[in-house]
A = this chain, B = another copy of it.
Amino acid sequence: MKKYYTEEAWNIIENGFDPSMHESSESIFSIGNGKMGQRAMFEEYYSGPSLEGSYIAGVYYPDKTRVGWWKNGYPEYFAKVLNSPNWLGIDIQIGSERLDLYTCKVREFERKLDMQHALLSRKFIAVFPSGKEIEVQTERFLSRVDDEIGCIRYHVKARNFNDTITCTTSVNGDVKNKDANYDQTFWDPISETITGNRAFVAVRTKKLGFEVVAGFTATYSKNGTPIQLVPSAVKKEKFAAFSVATAIAEGETFEVQKYVSVVSSMYYSDAQLKDACNQNIDTALRKGYTQLRNEHALAWEQLWEQCDIEIKGDIAAQQAIRFNILQLNQTYTGKDHRLNIGPKGFTGEKYGGSTYWDTEAYCIPFYLGTNHQKVARQLLQYRYNQLPKAIENAAKLGFTKGAALYPMVTMNGEECHNEWEITFEEIHRNGAIAYAIYNYIQYTGDHSYLWEGGTEVLIAIARFWSQRIHWSEAKKQFVMHGVTGPNEYENNVNNNWYTNYIATWCMQYATQAIAEVKEQYPTAYKALVLKTALDETKELAEWKHICENMYYPMDADLGIFLQQEGYLDKEQQLASSLNPKERPINQHWSWDRILRSCFIKQADVLQGLYFFEDQFDTATLKRNFDFYEPRTVHESSLSPCVHAILAAKLGYEQKAYEMYLRTSRLDLDDYNHEVHEGLHITSMAGTWMSVVQGFGGLRVRNGKLHFEPMIPTQWESFSFSIRFRGKVVKATISKQLLQVELLTGDSIEISVKGNSHTLKQGETVNISHHHDTAQNNE
């Protein structure tokens, strides 16, 4: 853990320049608008260590799978998030000296992310070897309004000299991925074009043929007054630039405004790309920097109105939750159902830019609670569109009759992960995808999704489970062998409780969905039966038979569900007994030792209890939490939030707060020494859940919001707004009171600790939320 950034409610600030922190800051200060994402590399030349990353949503590279020992069924490629043309370039030269913060002396450096407006700015004084000093101020944003436009304002002041300033603005497609095998490049050149004051680079990916055009123009001013300069053009393969030079005297300022557009063949035919890019530059020039910036800032302010969380009395927690909310909104906007949320979003290469079950388990609740329901529905649609690939994926593994296995990692629906114990065995992901459908409908009441795709997905998933489960003659029950649960510190186990449970739940929910569609949408039902070749009598009977005779490992003495069969055969130890020097164990223990140990990476049985909380009494939740949490090492970024929510539910305030801290400042304080690789975007949604579902105690039951709030001792109060079926409710929890206000909508009925309350628009209701002392003192 490292406290490096200044804690402010709305800003992340880096004071002073430390090159060894630069790659971490490149991650932290990332910006994005859902269509493009940009690590915070410098505009000017920088010779120090840097992880370059400019990303374009949906544009990826299927790199050849690399394994030591090939296993039958491995995918041929791994989808990599693709470092794309760098649109930032603004090189500065004073006389013959090039600005390079790695070699210049740097004073009064400040890098700031204005989270309220998603603006990244920087200021510093640089001293060249000659002693010349310049003062620089920069600002950049990726417009949330015009989402193919990025703008930079770069402002230089000569402090102590008269000389020539040379400014070279560029777009550069000659970029590489750090995770490329043997330094391969992924981009082929198409063209470099200079048209008047505009420069364009067109490149194409070597595989899949994604085309990208990055173009820009620049305007200049001196001492605040626009000037016309005649740039000289520079073209190289995959690179186009303009260079201008002008005299600058002591005290004078020079400013360049760079208007960039990056467009991809995700949205245009190859032939249209250049024109589209050009028109975007037209738009940018017409609006000008100030208007573009103001529109962008306003859009963000409006967004915050529906998703902000305010925490009083704990500035670190306040800053962190906003950082998490900002980054989630920078990553995904829900405009395009072909896109999804990679574990690192647009902030790094690790894990590929692909989709994991994180989306269903963590991100969908966030977008449901903070955005229009169509955003979450886009994420469901994404999986619906990939159903044929999921069926193909299952078929490759020997499943038949339209069974679907969604991939562990994907970009276009095809599996691209290549560890057998994950790829083939961590199949509970299929359950999370079904659960997300349930969760969406439960939250929004939008049952139309059942017949507009949802039930088709559910049938395919139920079919998978019914084939994946087999009858054990020895047990005279159905069992499921060879799985990896959410706790990836166990591999290839038999009868993982969570997987068994969610598998039968899927079959039951599919059965229920089929019945509902049959009753409510008979026409859609006929089409569904036709399309899926559903044999209602036979298949549903089979599912029912499995559900009624499924084996669930449990221990009667302890009154707990067993993570998997034989879990109690392990040597039982608590995480608190571990040598702190050996933590995280995944960096210190060999893999077999981790597997043999009882230690749990992230919620497994507890993930099930979180999803299906209402199906268990509190005593059961408590027994399982008390057993499993002390054995959990929380070495996944996805672990703390589920525990925070359950701990809050069980009244374990201290544990809930500890878990919240681990999740919310994971990146800002770099708990795991890896933030330079990118941010943990999907787990950020878990942080939001920790506050809203955890401390806020928010649940949706029978179409109604329920609150069971609590507040950590460290906080004075916290408040959050929640979108629910077209209404917006704001909840403020202070030490004694829950204050609820209906911001949007006529009226709403809510429940607080089991008591109903009706809110009218603009009305504020205060409800006492006394702690149950007995619970709290555990």
Provide the residues of chain B in CB contact with A397, threshold 8 Å: 590, 592-593
Check B68 against A568 for contact (C-beta < 8 Å). no
Check B72 against A590 for contact (C-beta < 8 Å). yes
A563 to chain B, nearest CB (A): 13
Check B589 against A72 for contact (C-beta < 8 Å). yes
Check A590 against B68 for contact (C-beta < 8 Å). no
Complex formed: what's the CA distance from A570 to B471 in Å?
8
**Cβ-defined partner of A182 (8 Å) among B182, B425, B566, B595:** B182
Provide the residues of chain B in CB contact with A535, threshold 8 Å: none
Check A396 against B590 for contact (C-beta < 8 Å). yes
Binds B, one of A149-157, A416-424, A659-667: A416-424
Contact with B along A492-505 (1 / 0, CB 8 A): 11100000000000
A313 at the interface (CB under 8 A from B): no
Check B591 against A420 for contact (C-beta < 8 Å). yes
With A481-B596, A565-B566, A572-B473 as contacts: A68 and B66 at CB distance below 8 Å: yes
Check B593 against A479 for contact (C-beta < 8 Å). no
Within 8 A of B (CB), among A394-444: 396-398, 418-421, 424-425
Within 8 A of B (CB), among A437-487: 470-475, 479, 481-482
Task: Tell me the interface secondary structure of chain A in the complex.
Answer: loop
In this complex, what residue of B is CB-closest to A587?
B72
Check B66 against A481 for contact (C-beta < 8 Å). no
Complex formed: what's the CA distance from A568 to B472 in Å?
8
Provide the residues of chain B in CB contact with A592, threshold 8 Å: 73, 397, 420, 424-425, 482
Provide the residues of chain B in CB contact with A616, threshold 8 Å: none
Complex formed: what's the CA distance from A245 to B396 in Å?
60
A778 at the interface (CB under 8 A from B): no
Complex formed: what's the CA distance from A588 to B591 in Å?
29
Check A591 against B424 for contact (C-beta < 8 Å). yes
Complex formed: what's the CA distance from A419 to B418 in Å?
12
**Cβ-defined partner of A482 (8 Å) among B65, B69, B473, B595:** B595
Complex formed: what's the CA distance from A570 to B479 in Å?
9
A551 to chain B, nearest CB (A): 9
A772 at the interface (CB under 8 A from B): no
Within 8 A of B (CB), among A107-149: none
| Interface residue tally for chain A (C-beta within 8 Å) | 51
Provide the residues of chain B in CB contact with A482, threshold 8 Å: 592, 595-596
In this complex, what residue of B is CB-closest to A470?
B571
A614 at the interface (CB under 8 A from B): no
Provide the residues of chain B in CB contact with A494, threshold 8 Å: 566, 569
Check A475 against B67 for contact (C-beta < 8 Å). no
With A473-B568, A569-B474, A572-B473 as contacts: A591 and B419 at CB distance below 8 Å: no
Contact with B along A589-610 (1 / 0, CB 8 A): 1111111100000000000000
A491 at the interface (CB under 8 A from B): yes
Provide the residues of chain B in CB contact with A589, threshold 8 Å: 72, 398
In this complex, what residue of B is CB-closest to A594?
B72
Check B65 against A475 for contact (C-beta < 8 Å). no
A71 at the interface (CB under 8 A from B): yes
A78 at the interface (CB under 8 A from B): yes
A549 to chain B, nearest CB (A): 14
Check B475 against A569 for contact (C-beta < 8 Å). yes
Contact with B along A61-83 (1 / 0, CB 8 A): 00001111101110000100000
Complex formed: what's the CA distance from A595 to B73 in Å?
13
In this complex, what residue of B is CB-closest to A565?
B566
Check B481 against A569 for contact (C-beta < 8 Å). yes
Complex formed: what's the CA distance from A494 to B590 in Å?
18
Provide the residues of chain B in CB contact with A396, threshold 8 Å: 590
A476 to chain B, nearest CB (A): 11
A758 at the interface (CB under 8 A from B): no
**Cβ-defined partner of A568 (8 Å) among B419, B424, B474, B594:** B474
Provide the residues of chain B in CB contact with A67, threshold 8 Å: 66-68
A520 at the interface (CB under 8 A from B): no
In this complex, what residue of B is CB-closest to A397?
B590
**Cβ-defined partner of A471 (8 Å) among B72, B78, B418, B571:** B571
In this complex, what residue of B is CB-closest to A184?
B182
Provide the residues of chain B in CB contact with A481, threshold 8 Å: 569-570, 596
A269 at the interface (CB under 8 A from B): no
Complex formed: what's the CA distance from A568 to B590 in Å?
30
A756 at the interface (CB under 8 A from B): no
In this complex, what residue of B is CB-closest to A468?
B596
A620 at the interface (CB under 8 A from B): no
Contact with B along A509-520 (1 / 0, CB 8 A): 000000000000
Provide the residues of chain B in CB contact with A73, threshold 8 Å: 590-592
A160 at the interface (CB under 8 A from B): no
A294 at the interface (CB under 8 A from B): no
List 15 interface pairs A-B (beta carbons < 8 Å), by A numbering. A68-B418, A69-B419, A72-B586, A396-B590, A397-B592, A398-B590, A421-B421, A424-B591, A470-B570, A472-B570, A473-B568, A492-B493, A494-B566, A565-B566, A566-B566
Known pairs A69-B419, A182-B182, A474-B568; list 19 more (Cβ under 8 Å).
A65-B68, A66-B67, A67-B68, A69-B418, A72-B587, A72-B591, A73-B591, A73-B592, A397-B590, A397-B592, A398-B589, A420-B595, A421-B421, A470-B571, A470-B596, A471-B571, A473-B568, A481-B596, A494-B569
